[in-house]
Structures are given as structure tokens and as C-alpha cells.
Structure 1
């Protein structure tokens, strides 16, 4: 037990190494750009001030979004999806497998659950003791079920899901803007140092290396950001792109695709002025998402638990009508 606990502590410590690497590179780039380039190399005061102003705007937005992506806790299923004490006791006391399955089916009838496991089973996590909301998955690293889980990212040491997916996208976007600005503004001095028009010194090494590092990260970010932009437009997570969500009618990669505009609004919100700020504006609460196969009137986002309570009676019949009482229960599924 002590050895296992020690290994888990070591794993948590080592999981911060990628974050420390990114942080170290960014801090070095700040020193190289502000001091070695702007302070010690650029002689024109107006040019120096303009470069510093734009650079600090990019740096602040990058740091802000990176911080939010790292330290925003993953959203987990609310208590409505957890087995109550009585249900859990009834489930554990029941010895007949079919009766246990029926208990979970009865609980799921009052919840907006439309997806199934690949086997057709109701998705149930026996580790967290919750019925999994649509698009949620259990993360073995975070040891919890995460709402609309996209993937566990080592570079932010966090699960990317409903609570921080917008922040992750903005982090990638501002990272690319940061690299583009550095590459564009450093290029002239890179050439001058390379051909020997500027004197050798510590600034030469920093400027040359800064150019190479910025271009290296820029190429990587272009592919990663482009892929996630495509996922947002299609309303898919990374997990759903590799394994299509399964509904009662079968697998459907476009099951949550409700049109480009509404797909974007689900992630960034209705107010376009807040799209580019790392402020939580995503629609809903991550437990329910509109389905392409259902009418718009029956798939409006349930933004909070109070709205569930208000609409629960009218929705129970529709939701239960989509349930298949013969489905089995998926146990110990882990993504």
C-alpha cells in the first residue's frame, strides 16, 4: 500500500515535467526577445516600443490561456448521475445480474442519456459509481469521469474536456500567434546576424535560437490547431474522432453535429465578443448535448440542474421511449 502510494506521488511529480519544459522555454523566449533583441540589439526607439507592446500583448494572452487550461479542474458528472445511497444499496444487495441491470436501466430513464457502449450497453462506471452522461469518459490519469472528455494532455497536465476545452483552443491559438509574431519580427535580425551585418555577442545566439524554436513550435501548432478546429466544426472530441459515439440506432460520427454555427456556439458561447477571452462562455453544463437526429425543440441545451427539474416530467416520456430495456450494463469501462 505504501509502495503504491509512493509510486502515485512520484507519477504526480513527474507529470509536471512537460509543463515545466514549456514554462522554461517561454520564460527564456521572454528574456531573449525583450532584453537581447529589443533592449540590446534594436536601436530605433519607436521600433523598440512597438515590438515590446505587441509582444507583451501576445505574451499575456498566451500565459493567461495556458494558466486556465492547466488549472481549470475537469468537470465531473453531477449528483443526478450518481447512484443514491438507497439505489447503491439495492444494487449491491441484488444478486441476480438481470435485476441489477434493470435497476440501472430504471435510474437512467430519468436522465438525458442517449449514447451506449460499443456493445450496446448503458455506459456505467463502477469506479466512480455513476451513469456516464453522453460524451463523458473515465480518465485513468485523473481517476475520475470527465464531462465531454477530449483527451488527457501532458503539456497542460490536465484533462481537456467540457470545462476547459475553450481555454485549450485559445491556448493553441495564442501560442501560434506568439510564434508567428516572434518569427516575423525576428526574421530581419536573424538574417543580419547570419550574414554578419551585426556584431557577434550573446544576442546573436539568442536571436538565432529564438528563430529556430519559434518556427519549430509554429509548425507543430499549425497541425494541432487545425485538427482541433476541424473537430469543433464537426462537433467531435478527439475520442469521438477515433471511435464514433454509439446511439440506440448504432454508431454515428455526426450524432452531435448540429451545424457549424451551433457547433461553435456550444464551445465559445453566444457572445462573439467573448470568444477570444479565456472566460467560461460554453453553453450548457456538459451533461447533455443536442442531437442531430432530434428536432431543435427537443434538444435545447439544459444549462443547469434547475432547468432539468422544470422539464424533467415532460422529457421523461421522450427519453424513456428511446431506452432499450434489454440492454446490458457496461462495467469498468476506462478510456
Structure 2
């Protein structure tokens, strides 16, 4: 598409000054588009560190134990030493029997990547990579610059599309380029803006795609807003607290991906937060879980 845009610009734009402006702006957006796409593809998903893995002795003892209730208790005892607050739907400790580790909060096993991924959102075929804690910011930026890229092409080409219908484009090659660029840009823009809007909503609520489809379960029970810290803090959980890094594809997400601030803890420190979130959720919908609960948990298996 870059080559076609450059060719169309050279064939249809008559003013040299307009050509320069169009091409400079186009390539500036294109650089960020390709940069974020590259980062989304080649930033490896982050796995839990060694302390969440079972030791050789614990693994052997766990596998040799035939009684499920004893195995469950063994995992409970091991999890007491770890910052793990989420549970399965039945209340058991979240354990991956393929990676042999106790899953950190918001961590899930990706069947495509064949490994557990910290704060897993989904496996994306567009970038052939698992989107999680290490690259979710880059994925969002890729969507944002993709939308901007398509919008820029569509808006710059549209005036020449009007000229095409009026028969004011003399070059046959330029006609093809204008039609192709406008059609492809509009088609991708519609699909991308829907996907980007959905992920913006997820970020505003501090949810992953998996958590949006399956309510997190904490030690005190299910809580759909267990990680919701408020709009600004939710954004900072992905992009960091330094706004100068929000548009640049460099790592700025806070934390190590193994543990995350939770709403229940903030409520215990500031009771006003509980009331504020309660009012906010009542405005959105009246169906969900009681807002006064201070639960802690999550389970979704890929």
C-alpha cells in the first residue's frame, strides 16, 4: 500500500508543496505503524519466573499423590508463599499441569504458544504472537496507528476519488490507484476501529479479553471489577504514569506482570473508592455482582 500511495501521490497531486506535505505526513505515520507492528510481533510473551514453578521434589510428590484432595491441599500450602489471590471457579489454586507451575494472577496457558503467559489477553493471528503483559501496550499502539494510517489514506484520497467520478483524472493508472487505496483503507478502517474501540473499553475497565468473557474469581468469590482502579489508574496500568511514553512503542507498563494492584486493597485503604466505583457501575448496568464485595480472583483456561 505504501508503494501505491507514493505512486498515486506523484501521478495525481499537481502541486509540489502538497506532494511534500502528503508524503512527509504519510511516512511519519507509516514509521510508527510498522514500528508498533514489529514490536507486537517480536516482543516475546513473558512467562512466570522460577518461584512459581514446582521444585523437582514438590513436582514428584504432587504427581505421585493419587488423592485429589491431598493434591489440592499441597497446592494451597505452596501458594501461601506466593502473591497469588486468584482461584479457579471451584475455589482451588490455579495450577498449570502442562507447565507445572502455580499460575500468577491474570496468567493463563496459551495452547498455541504452549506456555503460560503473564496477564494473557489473547493469541493474535494478525501478529502471530500471544498478547500479554510484555506486549499489550505495543498491540494497542499498533491498532491505534493502523486506524490513523487508514484514516489518513482515505481522507487524502477522497478528494481525488471525487475528481475520478467527475472525469477530471486524466491518467488511467492514477484512477486505479485512487480506487484501490480508498476501498482498502475504508474496509480496514471499519474493522480496525471496532477492534480498537473494544480494547479501549477493556483498558478503561482494566480487563483483559479473557476476563471480559469469564469473570475473575478471587479468594472471596467472583468479582468482575476486581482490578478496576479507576479510569486514569487503569490507563496507567498499561501505558505507565509518564505520558511522554504513551505514544512511543517502548516498554513503560508498571510492575513485573506477576502481581497487580487490586480494587479490594485500595478500598481498604480508601473507603471512598468503594462508593465511587459502586456509583459508576450502577450507571453502566444494574446486573452484576455486589459492588461492596472486596474479592480477589480470576480463572480462565485457554
Query: Considering the TM-score relative to the shorter chain, is it more than 0.5?
Result: yes
**CA apart distance, 1:214:** 0.5
Pairing partner for 1:45 from 9, 16, 21: 16
Which residue number in structure 2 is paired with residue 166 of structure 1? 137
Partners of 1:230 and 1:175 in 2: CA distance: 18
Structure 2: gaps of 5 or more residues: 270-294
Partners of 1:297 and 1:112 in 2: CA distance: 18
Structure 1: gaps of 5 or more residues: 1-28, 299-321, 324-329
Superposed CA offset, 1:91-112 (max 9, x none): 2333433332222111100111
Pairing partner for 1:282 from 235, 253, 266: 253
- In 1, are the aligned partners of 2:62 and 2:74 still within 8 Å (CA)? yes
Pairing partner for 1:143 from 89, 108, 114: 114
Superposed CA offset, 1:60-114 (max 9, x none): 0000000111111111111110001121122233343333222211110011111
Q: With the length of structure 2 as denominator, give the TM-score of the two structures.
A: 0.87
Q: Aligned pair 1:271/2:258, yes or no?
A: no
**CA apart distance, 1:297:** 8.8
Which residue number in structure 1 is paired with residue 102 of structure 2? 131
Which residue number in structure 2 is paired with residue 117 of structure 1? 88
- In 2, are the aligned partners of 1:183 and 1:215 still within 8 Å (CA)? yes
Q: Aligned pair 1:102/2:73, yes or no?
A: yes
**CA apart distance, 1:56:** 0.2
Moved over 4 A (4+): none
| SS across alignment from 2:119 | coil
| SS across alignment from 1:293 | helix
For the structure 1 residues 297 and 250, does the alpha-carbon distance in structure 2 shift closer, same or farther, using more than 3 Å as the test? Answer: closer
Which residue number in structure 1 is paired with residue 147 of structure 2? 176
**CA apart distance, 1:296:** 7.3
- In 1, are the aligned partners of 2:72 and 2:92 still within 8 Å (CA)? no
Partners of 1:64 and 1:263 in 2: CA distance: 25
- In 1, are the aligned partners of 2:206 and 2:227 still within 8 Å (CA)? yes
**CA apart distance, 1:260:** 1.1
Q: With the length of structure 1 as denominator, give the TM-score of the two structures.
A: 0.79
Which residue number in structure 1 is paired with residue 186 of structure 2? 215
Q: Aligned pair 1:91/2:53, yes or no?
A: no
Pairing partner for 1:194 from 162, 165, 176: 165
Superposed CA offset, 1:120-151 (max 9, x none): 11110000001011111111111111111111
- In 1, are the aligned partners of 2:41 and 2:127 still within 8 Å (CA)? yes
Worse-superposed segment, 163-172 or 240-249: 240-249
